[in-house]
Chains A and B, each alone.
Chain A
Amino acid sequence: MKKEGAGSRILPDASPAGLLGYGALWAFFIVFLIYPLIRLFYDSFTTDEGVFTLANFHSFFTDAFYLRSLMNSMLLGVGTVITTSIIGIAIAFLLLRYDFPGRRLFSYLTIIPMIMPPLVGVMGFVFILGRAGTVNVILQDYCGFQQPVNFMYGIHGVLLVETLHLFPLMTLSIVDAMGKISPSLDEAAESVGSRGLRKFFDITFPLTTPGYVTGALLVFIWTFADFATPLVVGIDDLLASQAYLNIVQFVDRRLFKMGIVISAIMVILAILFLIIAKKYVSIKDYSSLSYTQIERKRLSTPLQAGAVAFLSFILVFAFIPYFGIALDSFGKGWALTPIPVKYTLQYFERVSVETPKFILNSLLYSAISVMICIAVGVPVAWAMLRTRLPGREVLDSLTTLILALPGTGIGIAYMRAFREPFPFMSIALIGLWVVIPIVLAVRRLPYTVRGTFSSLLIVHRSFEEAAESVGATKMKTFRDVTLPLIWKGVLTGSLYSFILALQEASATLLLVVPGHEMMTVGIFNFYIGGSVNEAAALGFILIILGAACLFLINRLAGSKMGGVFG
């Protein structure tokens, strides 16, 4: 309350109701983001008795195994950034600059691989490329191979899965950034003789850097925080896997503590990366929606064929998990044959008709989380752009920080922070189902904020000033003038949050509340419970849901494919 008092002295024209709302925003951030993180750090810097200590960090940095895990995680992250950059940039260039048959179809298909719930992707890959997957069975039964080829088991398998899952993120970021380069700049460069690679390094590269860095950061953090994929292919010397394995075992208190410490280290590293990349990923830098129509060059026939072949090649690989999941969700007793021999619908029946809770909970919680995202995210974006309230830059930094926070870290922070009941309440937040939509909302908030922010930018200030000049309050103006103009952008951002909320499976896996499991938790539980077919069926349904949302986004955002990135 003190803050608001101070606020009204700084901003005498702000209404008390508005300030109260702004205070509520801050309260949300403090309770659900800042406090859990502080609690995580507190726990990692103290003993179980609450005495300050550096011993936890000392034992991390003197343990060869943890250091190797840290190293491996960094290498894997960097490796994935490199591979996704190569594929992502190539695709972005082809789609934006050149015309060839099927370009529109490809521009839709190349985003699809992003819809891949954790675990489902790697499962699908193992069904096709595993030691007993379709490819190896064919190689051994028909091509005379004595031993299966090891495509999956090892760090290279993780790299493969992450690359083919995350390259669309890179494509989208680049498309978004390149869409903002005016063709006149290109022409100017060419007129003074800068062509080809030279032009790329002179013009295109510097101008796309902010978008690229953001994409790279997202890819890096995603890989860095994923613990499900490595576990399936038998890799556990990675930081996220160690955090997860140490936390979910409670037997050895020392290991449990190390799980907390590892999460804290992951969060610290994420913050560090963010500071390094800060120059580029500040929200203002890539919020423009002023897309310019880019003139596409028509490729010569052989080059056209080349472009189509390249894109098809990547897509075939990226769609491998979909084939695998589809086959396994319908196939019964599939082992050591190229495709299943018997087919059934029983797995779909089991995960939808018999236990509909997974699908229902997923839809419900994701919807609630999107509503929270809108309730918090839209005002945040509006406050950043339309007010001079103190602390709004901090809100900007906090939203960007969320983007960089590994889900494992947030999940563990919540576990520690909300274990004890709230003041005046008899029950702790952990164990109540509301914790799930809340953590989902916090994790997906940046997409809504960004979507709203960029939509707000193109609403000319004069519209609002006109309304205010005839006596409308800021609130009323927002509701009657601004909102009708930006709803499309907000909706796109929200749908995007929705897809990603549906697929979240790092924080929610750690915070699972019995009886309130979401689909991703169901997939994980079915998988580790040995019911791989049910896991596949649930995954299949989730992929279809995601694809439907993506289609809707594509319709809403129109040709501006990158618009979804705000």
Chain B
Amino acid sequence: MKRFAVLTALSVAIFFCLTGIGSAQAIENEFYLITPVSKDVHDPVLKAFAAYAKKRWNVDLKTSAMPQGTPVAYGQILEWKGKPRADVFWGGEGTLFDNLAKEGLLEKVQVPDKMWNEIPAEIGKPVGLPLKDPKKFWVGTMLEPYGIIYQPKLLKRLGVEIKDWDDLLNPKLKGQIAQCTPDRSSSSHASYEVILQTYGWEKGWEWLRKLAANTGIFTARSRDVPNVVSKGEFAVGFAVPSYMAFAEVLNGYDVKYVFPKNAYVTPEPMAVLKGAPHPKAAHAFIEFLLSEEGQKLVSAMGVYPITPKYKVQGPAGSNQEKAVAFTGGMRSFFDIPVGNVYNADTAGQKKRIEEVNSYFRKEIAEKHKDIIKK
């Protein structure tokens, strides 16, 4: 019996080698992710991938995720110096991935050409936001805006309405805003860049200082922001990925979401780390997430497909339909005009990232108590 199984396996292997479907060879039985994408999304995706691995290769895959904010994950990967303890880095701003590629810490993404070509090169006007790396070091996996979350009951009590960025500066919101810091979260960092590139450096910081004056808490992680808002501890959350807000709805909380003008839309980039302990599983994971199955799966969680081919759609009452209603009625980012001012060439430079972070630290974080008093 055993010999028969071995023989079958061998002949199947030979068959696939001969026919050139190299990817059909089994993957390793472990897979580790380092990601700022929160548990709401990475947990079900990892579970689905494990089930897929079982079905396709009969591999009992053990998966685990190291949840880290993008800047932290980025730094951790640098610190690993090419001997990473994770296989795949997923999420955040594409510019950080470009920097990692420059350091030689990423491996080229291996997915079928058809799959690669279906993903548009960029999105947004007047500035195009890349959705994949022309050199293939990273690929976008899904689309979602970094917007504003609010507690309707509290806003009603305060007599405030929120439709766009500037509504956050309403003095009635004093102490009611929750945000993460740009040096700990890329959703915050990208949104700071959106403001800075909209208004320019000086005026942009003035705007952000006013935002700080209304800020009641700088949270430890970006995921805390929707969390404290849904609980009602704070009324409004700044720079919240749509899926995090939607996860709170699925958790049974009553929150609302605003997709403000020119909000940063992240493609949640994904890359295989060079020297990854489980490279086959890593490449298989990317292919899985970009497949119809993977894209359908995430579209039930408040994010949008990365290709125009798939739309967020489901039977009435499904999570897909709830998500569409929650984020403003659209079914695909490629159906609507996407405004973008975030220029990756400006924002992505290492020097610029450090400048933004240290300006924030010196002028806002360390002076927050004084800013509130004014």
Contact = CB atoms under 8 A, between A and B. Distances in A.
Contact of B231 (A132, A245, A249, A529): A132
A334 to B, nearest CB: 7
B232 A131 contact: yes
A514 B251 contact: no
A525 B75 contact: no
Interface stretch (B48-56, B216-224, B322-330): B216-224
Q: Is the interface of A mostly helix, strand, loop or mixed?
A: loop
Contact of B32 (A335, A342, A514): A514
Interface in A22-75: 64-65
Contacts of B358: 252
Contacts of B71: 249, 251
State the majority secondary structure of interface residues on B.
mixed
B218 A342 contact: no
Contacts of A527: 224
A431 B231 contact: no
B76 interface: yes
B86 A342 contact: no
Contact of A234 (B76, B218, B248, B353): B218
Interface string A250-284: 11100010000000000000000000000000000
Contact of B216 (A153, A250, A512, A528): A153
Contacts of A336: 151, 153-154, 232
Nearest to A69: B366
A249 B72 contact: yes
B62 A515 contact: yes
B94 interface: no
Contacts of A334: 231
Contacts of A251: 71-72, 74-75, 78, 183, 353, 357
A333 B253 contact: yes
Interface in B343-373: 353-354, 357-358, 365-366
A531 interface: yes
A217 B100 CA distance: 45
B295 interface: no
A252 B72 CA distance: 10
Contacts of A512: 66
B351 to A, nearest CB: 12
B244 A431 contact: no
Interface in B168-195: 183-184
Contacts of B253: 333, 335
Interface in A129-154: 130-132, 153
6 contacts: A64-B366, A250-B79, A252-B183, A335-B232, A515-B62, A526-B39
Given A245-B220, A250-B78, A251-B75, 8 more contacts: A132-B233, A153-B217, A234-B217, A252-B357, A335-B253, A514-B32, A529-B39, A530-B38
Interface of B: 30, 32, 38-40, 62, 64-69, 71-72, 74-76, 78-79, 85-86, 151, 153-154, 183-184, 216-221, 223-224, 226-227, 230-234, 244, 247-248, 251-254, 353-354, 357-358, 365-366
